[in-house]
Amino acid sequence: MFADLHMHTTFSDGTFSPEEMAQAAQRHQLACVALTDHDTMAGCARMGAECARLGIEFVQATELTCEVDDVEVHLLGYFINPSNPRFLSSLVEFQKARQNRIHEMAACLQRKGVPLQAAAVFAIAQCESPGRPHVARALVQAGLCKTMDEAFERYLKKHRPAWVPKFKISADQAIELIHHAGGVAVIAHPALNKSDDIIPLLVEAGVDGIECFHTRHSTAASQHYLMMAEQYDLAISGGSDCHGMNKGKPLMGGIKLPVIHVRQLEARARRRREKTSTAA
């Protein structure tokens, strides 16, 4: 009984629809999956319905971008109430910031003589949470780059001509927002942050878990973060970070998290909700 708790669909920067993602999960014999699209939960209803049809447990989730001590951190929010008004209004704010970023990137490209319009990016994205992969796809589709890798290397990576910083809230704000919506907050792919010194600060802010298993974590890195999870009493999570065909091939199946860790995350979410209810 295995789970994959990190994946993205066409509702953010993936290439699979929610239904296609659920069907891929079935092919990989996964018992449980979570949809963690960036700054949105709009695809959860469709993926949840398809998972129910296929007999797969589904966890409603999202991925938020935040920062602590000027270090960018991604937090996965699991077991979130998708009807929480404050959470939904915050997601709308984050989505508007993403859309504004696309306009800024297009303007940067045009100043460099690259004739890409923001409208072309939005036409490809077809979602409320567009990101750099959509800009890269638009550059390739317009014949301005041969591959997405070239688009990132020439224009979209940090310190390149069309790189624009992301809108970020503080980690404290993000964790509190996830808790307010009844969820648990988990540090995504910590090895990619290269800043383990911020983990105690996130623990102090109330983070609930850490993604020990990730496609880009080595075995040594996973073991390291398992030790940190024990040290700080954090729940353990893991996922492929599948974006469909964005990486050339689907990453699903590379990470198989024992379902017992899903139960432990769920128990933490339940205890938080009970504590909040008692306090009220």
Is 110 within the bounds of a domain?
no
Residue 139 domain-assigned (yes or no) = no
What pLDDT was estimated at residue 8?
A: 97
Nearest by Cα to 239 from 91, 76, 130: 76
Residue 178 lies in a domain: no
Task: Find the angle CA(103)-CA(20)-CA(141) to the nearest 5 degrees.
Answer: 35
Question: Would residue 248 count as lying in a domain?
Answer: yes
Residue 70 belongs to a domain:
yes
For residue 258, the SS3 value is strand
- pLDDT, one tens digit per residue, over 157-195 is 999 999 999 999 999 999 999 999 999 999 999 999 989
Q: How many Cβ atoms from other residues are within 10 Å of residue 220's Cβ?
A: 9
Q: 155 near 114, Cβ under 8 Å?
A: yes
Return the amino acid letter for 57: E
Cβ atoms within 10 A of the Cβ of 227, count? 11
Three-state secondary structure call for residue 279: helix
Q: Does residue 234 form part of some domain? A: yes
What's phi and psi for 167, nearest 5 deg?
-75, 130
What is the band of 99 on the pLDDT scale with cuts at 50, 70, 90? very high
Question: For residue 247, is pLDDT > 60?
Answer: yes
For residues 171 and 67, the answer to whether their CB atoms sit within 8 Å is yes
- The answer as to whether 216 is a domain residue is yes
Report the CATH number at residue 232: 3.20.20.140
**Res 279 pLDDT > 70:** no
Residues of the domain holding 201: 2-82+185-279
SS3 call for 250: coil
Amino acid at 199: I
Q: Which residue has the tokens 């910590």?
A: 190
Residue that the structure tokens 């991925």 belong to:
63
Mean pLDDT of the chain: 95
Domain count, the chain: 1
